[in-house]
Structure 1
Amino acid sequence: MGVLKGSVWGLLMIVWVWKLAAGEEEKCENRWIHIRRLPSRFNLDLLANCSEYPLLEDLCPFLGNHGLGQKTHNRSHSWYRTDSSMLELIFHRRMLEYPCLTPDPFLAKAIYLPYYAGLDARRYLYGPESNFSALHGLHLFHFLQQDNPQIWARHMAHDHFLVMARPAWDFSQPLTNDPRIWGTSFLELSQFFNLTALTLEARAWPWQEHAVPYPTSFHPPSLGLLESWLTRVRRSKRSILALFAGGGGGGGGGSSTPNVRRSIHSECENATSDPSYEKLCEIVDCSNGVCEHDPIRFMRPMLQASFCLQPPGDTPTRRSTFDAILAGCIPVFFEELSAKSQYGWHLPENEYEDFSVLIPKEEVVFRGLRILNVLQRIPRAKVRSLRQRVLTLIPNVLYRKHDSSPGLEDKKDAFDLAIDGTLDKIRSRVEKLDSVI
């Protein structure tokens, strides 16, 4: 973790001066970002609490490799046991490599706050401060007001952004709610209404939120390893029509309330045969989180499947959507909030029918529409076209490894697209603000 500590700021100053001398100023015009220097209590110190909550999974094993987690096996170069809650750390590490960093906050077009909001939220969600969830974020705000407050005030915080490695719902408890209700109130605080929050899942209405992809387990360090994976995906034999990797919906207990996951289980268990496929439907049981840090469990079956079913769970979005795209498996959505209304910077918002299938969950659950019948009726030529489009999206949804080779750096990944989108969002907002003033 030493690379994230204080000495890095002097290094950033040297790099910035060198880039100006090397003629990088024109390339970075309108793209300069300043990383706000925060006390370690807002980021690195929070990593020390990785095993503090006994009712939660121990996060300590996933801190390695700057948040990528441990390698899936010693000889692996690209596959890691990545936990989604490490996105803040992964993003912070990649920000230190961003080519247009400036130590001057008043030259910057955007200000990045390296605050690990999702990790800090754990004490309000599960710890002794659960009755004070409306206070989440106020300690950060007070620091920003006291330390060079003119940086925060310059554009009324419209130029600030941060990453929150949880769905926005976890940070949107109304301030008037009973504090025992789930969530903190970070995104409901008026002090933070103007900044941009990059979350794993955004709500439909607040303009300060934007969803970015869940991190998968694939983090290639070189262009050759990425192209090797793309070749494997392209050549995989698709012997399964549809696959669902996830938990819930089975008949072994739990609620009997009708839902799309139960419908999927019922269809798979009663699927017949099709001469075009060795198997019509397969379920990879990921109950109790057994798949989360073991990508072999689901990636191998996904490589063999034509369609990967993405039913909503506790919230509309799923990490599995990005695992499926990574495997070249065509995602099947059951509501638009699962992706179309979320990831506009990474998945083409107006082209969802070119790489995915939408089957409304109400049609499945209440009107008896058979998912497998819908998929079987899609012409083979259309299936090939959908998969080809999915293949082009793979670079968009992966987070490459830090310190990756120059060839791979030329391909924009999920981080790069998030930065591009954030800069555009901030630029538009600041221009509107300036026109009013």
Structure 2
Amino acid sequence: MLPNSIMTALNSIRLHIFSNPGRICVFLVFLWAQFTIISLARTPTPCFPDRSSPLSVRYVKIPSPNATTSTAPAAPEPPPPRYTDDCPSGRVYAYDLPPSFNRDLVPTACTDLDPWNWQCGIAPNHGYGRAASELRRTLPGDFHKSWYHTNEFTLELLFHHRIHKHKCRTLDPDLATAFYIPFYAGLAVGKHLWGNDTSARDRHCELMLTWIKSQKYWKVMNGSDHFISIGRITWDFRRLTDPGKSWGSSFLNMPSMQRVIRFIIEKHPSDEMDVSVPYPTGFHPKTSDELAGWQSFVRDHKRAALFTFIGTDRNRGEDDLRRLLMDQCRRESSSCRAVDCGVSDCARNSSVTLLPLLESEFCLQPKGDSFTSKAVFECLVAGSVPVYFTKAAYEEQYEWFLPGEQESYSIFIEQEEVRSGKVTVKEVLKRYSKEEIQRKREKVIEIIPRIIYSKPNAGVKSFRDAFDIAVDGAMERIKDEKEWVDFL
């Protein structure tokens, strides 16, 4: 039972309402409004789903983490590794030098070899020269297709062309182990060698070094991870301060060049940064099959002559060795093939020199303007055994390319004995048996791939040539030095 006070209040309200019918209507309207408000508050609004009813599930495919969409950019590919099975010594970067240091130096005035102009024949065919089509009439099958009129001073162009096709070349210098400088030093200096302006011989060299030293990759090791090819002998770049020693440029004496590896056709014997590489010859096979075919051809070729001498009678004096050898060869015409390039078209007709070499067991290689010459490598490519008259022609030269045992592939005759008349070349050479000559020839044939520059742009080769040996050797040397520096 409710307390008396509450009962008294309720009775008062009831009497107050029901004593007036209008007040009853107001009271009922008030109750209805309260009920409506409570109902709306408890009922979900139409803009939200009714969570009490069963859900209608819709499956949406979630993209995988590796998938790309049209709006999101593809992730950049990772850079290739610095070292791979194909590039165990790393990658090489070739600088894009201003053309004044290479392309602008290439002469275009002549298109073929000219014996009186050393620059002729350099420009055509990336330095390989024009095809030696005249050999079509003298060589069997398609052997003539591997032969070109190649200038002996074209090394810089050949290396520049081949480095762009190197399997380990990188366009990103940050990935490089070694850096190639495509400066045509031989062309820059050669045109001024016979003038009196020594500063002109150094001008391009100094400007190139100024440019290269401004590159951040040079500054990392001050050039010791850089290499260059030079198409003339080392003595053309070592001008001394003595006024009487005015020949050549001072390029290789400049301080900035002291740590750069230089591939050069004749090196300084006591400079470890000089690496002598073979002179370019006219033989540039495109495939390993072409090379193997040529090796078989020179092995089996009939050699009717005992020896040959190819040179120029320069009338330097009665005791000049080259003149003495030419005279001996002419007197022994039944045993020797004499070719005087002073009267024969040796430069433009490859048959003049190649055929006598193919027909001879031995080829004579006396000293010329320098200790080495292109003729040595032309002799070897023809499968003829070279005869040296000075040890400087092979000692401490071409160590990466020729056998260390000189007697395994060549003959040595002391030049003073020839000059004095104690011996004749024919007498010495006739002492060798056919078996001894054949063993030497086999060694010569074995080293042919190592002394030539192939032309791989027209085919795939499977042999290492002189270019491969040189670049691989330089990169291995640079890699070893960098690892040693990191170790320290």
- 2:96 alignment partner, one of 37, 51, 70: 37
- 2:180 alignment partner, one of 112, 121, 125: 112
Aligned-residue CA RMSD (Å): 2.8
- 1:63 alignment partner, one of 94, 106, 123: 123
Structure number with larger C-alpha Rg? 2
Deviations 1:37-83 (A, max 9, x none): 211111111125656xx996174544111111111128742111110
Q: What is the rounded CA distance, in whole Å, between the counterparts of 1:81 and 1:188 in structure 2? A: 33
Question: Closer, same or farther in 2 for the Cα pair 1:188/1:379, shift >3 Å?
Answer: same
Question: Closer, same or farther in 2 for the Cα pair 1:312/1:69, shift >3 Å?
Answer: same
Is residue 329 from structure 1 mapped to residue 397 from structure 2 by the alignment? Answer: no
Q: What is the rounded CA distance, in whole Å, between the counterparts of 2:115 and 2:377 in structure 1? A: 28
- 1:28 alignment partner, one of 87, 109, 116: 87
Q: What is the rounded CA distance, in whole Å, between the counterparts of 1:189 and 1:223 in structure 2? A: 41
- Does the aligned pair in 1 maintain the 2:238–2:251 contact within 8 Å? yes
Q: What is the rounded CA distance, in whole Å, between the counterparts of 2:157 and 2:302 in structure 1? A: 36
In the alignment, structure 2 segments of 5+ residues that lack a partner are 1-76, 137-143
Q: What is the rounded CA distance, in whole Å, between the counterparts of 2:340 and 2:79 in structure 1? A: 51
Question: Closer, same or farther in 2 for the Cα pair 1:280/1:235, shift >3 Å?
Answer: same
Question: Closer, same or farther in 2 for the Cα pair 1:317/1:61, shift >3 Å?
Answer: closer
Structure 2 counterparts to residues 218-233 of structure 1, below 5 A:
218-233=283-298
Q: What is the rounded CA distance, in whole Å, between the counterparts of 1:423 and 1:173 in structure 2? A: 29
- Does the aligned pair in 1 maintain the 2:89–2:476 contact within 8 Å? no
Letter in 1 for 2:420: F
Letter in 2 for 1:138: E
Question: Closer, same or farther in 2 for the Cα pair 1:256/1:55, shift >3 Å?
Answer: closer
- Structure 2 residue aligned with 1:13: none
- Does the aligned pair in 2 maintain the 1:31–1:423 contact within 8 Å? yes
Deviations 1:57-113 (A, max 9, x none): 174544111111111128742111110122111111111111011223343221100
Is residue 73 from structure 1 mapped to residue 133 from structure 2 by the alignment? Answer: yes
- 2:236 alignment partner, one of 170, 176, 191: 170
3-state DSSP of counterpart to 2:271: coil
3-state DSSP of counterpart to 2:474: helix
3-state DSSP of counterpart to 1:396: helix
- Does the aligned pair in 2 maintain the 1:62–1:81 contact within 8 Å? no
- Does the aligned pair in 2 maintain the 1:72–1:79 contact within 8 Å? yes
- Does the aligned pair in 2 maintain the 1:223–1:405 contact within 8 Å? no
Structure 2 counterparts to residues 72-151 of structure 1, below 5 A:
72-73=132-133, 76-126=144-194, 129-146=197-214, 148=215, 150-151=216-217
Question: Closer, same or farther in 2 for the Cα pair 1:325/1:130, shift >3 Å?
Answer: same
- Does the aligned pair in 2 maintain the 1:248–1:262 contact within 8 Å? yes
1 or 2 for the larger relative contact order (CA 8 Å, sep ≥6)? 1
3-state DSSP of counterpart to 2:232: strand
Letter in 2 for 1:195: V
- Does the aligned pair in 2 maintain the 1:133–1:179 contact within 8 Å? no
- Structure 1 residue aligned with 2:320: 259
Deviations 1:293-342 (A, max 9, x none): 43211111110100001001110101011111111000111112212321
Question: Closer, same or farther in 2 for the Cα pair 1:120/1:395, shift >3 Å?
Answer: same
Deviation at 1:27, TM superposition (A): 2.7
Q: What is the rounded CA distance, in whole Å, between the counterparts of 1:92 and 1:288 in structure 2? A: 34
Structure 2 counterparts to residues 399-410 of structure 1, below 5 A:
399-406=453-460, 408=461, 410=462
- Does the aligned pair in 2 maintain the 1:83–1:293 contact within 8 Å? no
Letter in 2 for 1:183: G
Q: What is the rounded CA distance, in whole Å, between the counterparts of 1:179 and 1:414 in structure 2? A: 37
- Structure 2 residue aligned with 1:14: none
In the alignment, structure 1 segments of 5+ residues that lack a partner are 1-16, 273-278
Deviation at 1:266, TM superposition (A): 3.1
- Does the aligned pair in 2 maintain the 1:198–1:210 contact within 8 Å? yes
- Does the aligned pair in 2 maintain the 1:124–1:131 contact within 8 Å? no
- Structure 2 residue aligned with 1:214: 279
- Does the aligned pair in 1 maintain the 2:357–2:363 contact within 8 Å? yes
Aligned residues between the structures: 402
Is residue 363 from structure 1 mapped to residue 417 from structure 2 by the alignment? Answer: yes
- Does the aligned pair in 2 maintain the 1:220–1:400 contact within 8 Å? yes
Letter in 1 for 2:129: G
3-state DSSP of counterpart to 2:133: coil
- Structure 1 residue aligned with 2:139: none
State the percentage of identical aligned residues.
31
- Does the aligned pair in 1 maintain the 2:150–2:282 contact within 8 Å? yes
Q: What is the rounded CA distance, in whole Å, between the counterparts of 1:199 and 1:293 in structure 2? A: 25
- 1:378 alignment partner, one of 401, 426, 432: 432
Report the TM-score, using the length of structure 1 for normalisation: 0.84
Q: What is the rounded CA distance, in whole Å, between the counterparts of 1:411 and 1:339 in structure 2? A: 24
Letter in 1 for 2:224: H
Q: What is the rounded CA distance, in whole Å, between the counterparts of 1:19 and 1:291 in structure 2? A: 51
Is residue 390 from structure 1 mapped to residue 444 from structure 2 by the alignment? Answer: yes
- Structure 2 residue aligned with 1:282: 337
Task: List 4+ stretches of structure 1 deviating above 6 A.
Answer: none
Q: What is the rounded CA distance, in whole Å, between the counterparts of 1:41 and 1:369 in structure 2? A: 53
Question: Closer, same or farther in 2 for the Cα pair 1:128/1:262, shift >3 Å?
Answer: closer
- 2:263 alignment partner, one of 198, 201, 206: 198
Question: Closer, same or farther in 2 for the Cα pair 1:376/1:55, shift >3 Å?
Answer: closer
Letter in 2 for 1:57: N
Question: Closer, same or farther in 2 for the Cα pair 1:390/1:154, shift >3 Å?
Answer: same
Report the TM-score, using the length of structure 2 for normalisation: 0.76
Question: Closer, same or farther in 2 for the Cα pair 1:381/1:65, shift >3 Å?
Answer: same
Letter in 2 for 1:261: R
- Does the aligned pair in 2 maintain the 1:38–1:114 contact within 8 Å? yes
Q: What is the rounded CA distance, in whole Å, between the counterparts of 1:260 and 1:403 in structure 2? A: 42
Is residue 303 from structure 1 mapped to residue 358 from structure 2 by the alignment? Answer: yes
Q: What is the rounded CA distance, in whole Å, between the counterparts of 2:345 and 2:239 in structure 1? A: 30
3-state DSSP of counterpart to 2:192: helix
Q: What is the rounded CA distance, in whole Å, between the counterparts of 2:217 and 2:226 in structure 1? A: 9
Deviation at 1:286, TM superposition (A): 1.5
3-state DSSP of counterpart to 1:282: strand
| Higher mean C-alpha displacement, 91-100 vs 40-49 | 40-49
